[in-house]
Amino acid sequence: MADMLQSDRAGRLTWIKSTQMIQCLICETPAPSLQRNKGTVHRDRKSSCTRDPAAIIRAVVAIGYRRARGVRCLIQFTPARLSRCATPLRIDMSETMRRSWLLVPMSKAELIAQAAQAGADAVVLDLVELVAEKDKLAARANFQAAIYTVKAGGAEVFAQIDPDFHYVDLHACVWPGLSGVVVSRAESSRQIEDVDALLGRLEHVRGLLPGTVKIVAAVETARGNHAAYEIGRASPRVTGVTLGRADLIMDLRAEPSNEIHLMPYLMQRLIIIAGSVGVTAIGAWWRAPDRGLLATPDNTYQAALRGRAIGFKGAMCLRANQVEPLNRAFG
């Protein structure tokens, strides 16, 4: 069970943890009743420790948790009693910043080997966009071996999957060593929930700790962008969201200059949504003539600087020579 803080209707704050503890993590007062309730924070609203936001956050840092959900708003515990927020608050203090995400087709063994040595923080092994239909069966069969190849180079391994074929894609890619999946063309929270449910079952069967495999949602269509807020909140596994320029061009149509006049708005909207749900916005501010994620190293560096300036924290790319500019810009 993941650690979390939750507030009930009476305003009581409880830390739920899978292991039993017998003292409050905030005020450190012995509390035998906590052992029975498997909690680690006093439930009594009158207790000063549950009304002090600074003390709560100190306890959060001390426990080293990965995600807090269910707190309506820490501000409700201040004397001013300002308005409550209906949105669950996530606080993730241990999430690794991934500056560069190198996207590689699973059908190209030589590119996978090259990606392992490219210095990317994350290598995304694609089963969707860059693999011909006739090659997908073999690509899925080779996925477990590809994880070992990439991990040997020091990068984290993600898989890009098709939400319409998530059952076969996830069965192919969820093995020890996989850090997460990128859900291509995500368009609804239901898709993320389906992926989350199957990930939980596969983690159990294949010996991974619960919650090991994270989700990055790629909102690459008009419908996906419209539902981005719900997608970001659909699962505690969601740690990032990203845009897809090439698919958006097909959905929204580009201007004669090959720019999308809505792109600055869509990027800023995505960054705001990511901040509101507590996940990372992944992307760079690409400009014509760079289509999709293809760009020269210099143009990649400039796009990453522009992206970092507006709030992106890492970007995807398609070429190994783009990795170093991304690491430098986001480093």
pLDDT tens per residue across span 171-204:
999 999 999 999 999 999 999 999 999 999 999 9
CA distance 156 to 122: 5
Looking at residue 145, its pLDDT comes to 97
- Asked whether residue 95 is assigned to any structural domain, the reply reads no
- Asked whether residue 293 is assigned to any structural domain, the reply reads yes
CA distances to 87, 175, 258, 259 from 211, in Å? 22, 13, 40, 39
Looking at residue 84, its pLDDT comes to 34
- Asked whether residue 91 is assigned to any structural domain, the reply reads no
237 backbone dihedrals φ, ψ, rounded to 5°:
-75, -20
CA distances to 195, 239, 267, 294 from 244, in Å? 20, 17, 10, 12
- Name the domain count of the chain: 2
Quote the crossing angle between the two packed helices 143-152 and 166-173, to the nearest 10°.
50
- Asked whether residue 114 is assigned to any structural domain, the reply reads yes
- Asked whether residue 89 is assigned to any structural domain, the reply reads no
Global pTM reads 0.71
> Do 264 and 116 fall into the same domain?
yes
Average pLDDT over residues 322-327: 97
> Do 14 and 153 fall into the same domain?
no
> Do 192 and 253 fall into the same domain?
yes
b (16+ CB within 10 A) / e for 161-183: bbbeebeebbebbbbeebbbbbb
Task: Tell me the β-bridge partners of 300.
Answer: none
- Asked whether residue 90 is assigned to any structural domain, the reply reads no
Looking at residue 253, its pLDDT comes to 59
Looking at residue 287, its pLDDT comes to 82
CATH number, domain containing residue 140: 3.20.20.60
Of 44, 77, 110, at which residue does a domain stop?
77
> Do 73 and 105 fall into the same domain?
no
Of 46, 77, 108, at which residue does a domain stop?
77
- Asked whether residue 87 is assigned to any structural domain, the reply reads no
Please answer whether residues 326 and 302 qualify as being in contact, where contact means their C-beta atoms are separated by less than 8 angstroms: no
Which residue has 């035998």 as its token pair? Answer: 32
Q: In this predicted model, what pLDDT tens digit does every residue of 203-250 receive, in sequence order?
A: 999 999 999 999 999 998 889 999 999 999 999 999 999 997 655 655
Looking at residue 264, its pLDDT comes to 85
> Do 191 and 43 fall into the same domain?
no
> Do 180 and 52 fall into the same domain?
no
> Do 232 and 299 fall into the same domain?
yes
Phi-psi region of 82 (alpha: psi -120 to 50; beta: other; left: phi over 0): beta
CB atoms near residue 123 (< 10 Å): 30
Identify whether 32 is preceded by a cis peptide bond (ω within 30 of 0): no
310 backbone dihedrals φ, ψ, rounded to 5°:
-100, -5
Of 31, 46, 77, at which residue does a domain stop?
77
Range of the domain at 266: 100-330
> Do 134 and 265 fall into the same domain?
yes
> Residue 142: which pLDDT band, with cuts at 50, 70 and 90?
very high
> Do 107 and 57 fall into the same domain?
no
Looking at residue 261, its pLDDT comes to 67
CA distances to 21, 24, 205 from 38, in Å? 7, 11, 26
* Residues in Cβ contact with 115 at an 8 Å cutoff, skipping those fewer than 6 apart: 102, 104, 123, 150, 153, 155, 320
Please answer whether residues 244 and 204 qualify as being in contact, where contact means their C-beta atoms are separated by less than 8 angstroms: no
> Do 33 and 149 fall into the same domain?
no
Looking at residue 247, its pLDDT comes to 59
> Do 267 and 310 fall into the same domain?
yes
- Asked whether residue 142 is assigned to any structural domain, the reply reads yes
